[in-house]
Structures are given as structure tokens and as C-alpha cells.
Amino acid sequence: MSSLTYFEAQKWASSFVSEHKIDKSVVDLLLLGMKDWNLTDLLVNYQQQMPQAELTKFKEMLNKVCQGWPPQYLLGEASFFGREFKVTEDTLIPRQETEELVEWVLQDFKNDKTDLKIADIGTGTGIIGISLKIERPSWDVTLTDISQAALSVAEINAQRYGLKIKNSCSDLFSSLKEKYNVIVSNPPYIAETEKSLMDQSVIEHEPHMALFAPAEGLFIYRRIAAEINAYLENEAVLYLEIGFQQGKAVKQIFQQEFPDADVILKSDITGHDRMVKVVFNNKQ
């Protein structure tokens, strides 16, 4: 056993990360993640001695966080939409903005009992498609990603929740043979020129393939607009996450390609344009 209780380890760790200008919230994230505890579990065990092996691992992870490692990669898991998902350095770490994208889809189809066909393009960890499938079990969901490594992580996450979901290693739509009622995507949209605005830990550890796109971050949106028509059922809907400065540009891309479609921008909780919905009223 170590000479520290869980309370003492938490207190020491909070001081340690503060010295390195790291937010104290990472302490509980690591401690609870290591133990698969919630906060109540931690409080109940506050005065218990922390095993030496656990303390050693805890300190190693804290050191790595202070060196720039995202704690989610150290734990191998991240929270999204109230659930835990496997993450690796082959996948992006889920973010709150993407939860709002999922909520938008669910809100739009909350009273719809039709068995819809959904495609999650560039799925990464699978969080969007899997979350939709859990909330709407009757939906037929397909996950695609150009990275087989990322798709393997998505498959593990689907299995974790006992879901039957189709998977396809695909460059956008290239491997798909069906048409869909809903297509949703959080594609790469960061311009190379924006690197200076990003956290160093993201640049050093998260997959660049899933982050950056040419043409000031608009390249994938242009490809989606050019290629999506063959994969749309009648009156299909497309949902996209976008960069907070890309709203007007992305809206223009789809309005030009689909003059009869309704293109709607939606802000996130901070008031920034972060989502686009395209309703294909008269599919071309």
C-alpha cells in the first residue's frame, strides 16, 4: 500500500498540476477514470489507502498530462452524450460541440417513427452514429471512415453497446452503395493557417487527417456537396459540424450546388455558428 489516502493523493495532484498551469479538473478525470468510479465512489473511499501501483500509475499519467498529453488518450476513453467511448490517437477526442449536432438530429426526428437510413461520414470513434442508434434503435446506421484504424475503434464502441451497425472503410461516399434519409458528418475543417490558434496538445497528439483540410478548411465540404447527390433519398437531410468562422462559406457552397435546398445555420451554446443543416426538398 502507498502512504497516501485517495484524498491525500487528490490534494497532492491538484497542487502538482496547478504548478504546471494545468486545470485541476484533470485530476478527478484521471483518478475517476483509472478506478472507473463516479464522484460518489471517490468520496466514499477518500480515507482508504491508495495502492502503491495505482499511485505510481497516477503520477505517471499526471506527468504526461503536464507534458502535453490529452488525459483521454492516457485513459483510453472519453465521455460523449453521457456515455464512455474508446479513443486512441487514431481518433479525435469527442467534443461538446458534436453533442449539439447529435441533439439537433434527434430533435428534428423526435416524433418520427419511420425506420430511417443514416450514414455517419468520417465517423472516427463512431460517437455520432452510435449515439443516434442508441437513442433511435430502429434506425439503420452506417459508419464510414477513410482510416481503417479509426473504423476499428468505432467497431469496438458499437460492440460495447451491443449495436448492429454497418461499417465501411470509405473515402467519403466512395464505398457506399445505398441511399440515405439522413447523412451526418464532422469532417476535417481546420485550415493549416489556424494552427497558431490551437492547443499544442491537439497538434501533437490528435490525428491531423481528421483535423485539417485544404482550401482554408473548406475542401471536404466542397467534396460532400459535389458527391452527395447519388446517396440521397427523397427529402433527405444533411447535418454538418463546421468551424466557427465557416458558416457563411459552407452555406454558400450548398446553396450554389443545390439551389432548391434549404440551408440552415445553427449556433452552439457559445453563440458561434457551428452546425449546418441542408434539407434537400427536391432532390436533383
Instruction: Give the annotated binding-site residues for S-adenosyl-L-methionine.
Output: 122-126, 145, 186
| C-alpha 224 chain-centroid distance | 19
Q: What is the 3-state secondary structure (H, E, C) of the chain?
A: CCCCEHHHHHHHHHHHHHHCCCCCHHHHHHHHHHHCCCHHHHHHCCCCECCHHHHHHHHHHHHHHHCCCCHHHHHCEEEECCEEEECCCCCCCCCHHHHHHHHHHHHHCCCCCCCCEEEEECCCCCHHHHHHHHHCCCCEEEEEECCHHHHHHHHHHHHHCCCCCEEEECCCCCCCCCCEEEEEECCCCECHHHHHHCCHHHHHHCCHHHCECCCCCCHHHHHHHHHHHHHEEEEEEEEEECCCCCHHHHHHHHHHHCCCCEEEEEECCCCCEEEEEEECCCCC
- Binding-site sequence positions for substrate: 186-189
Binding-site residues, in ranges, read 122-126, 145, 186-189
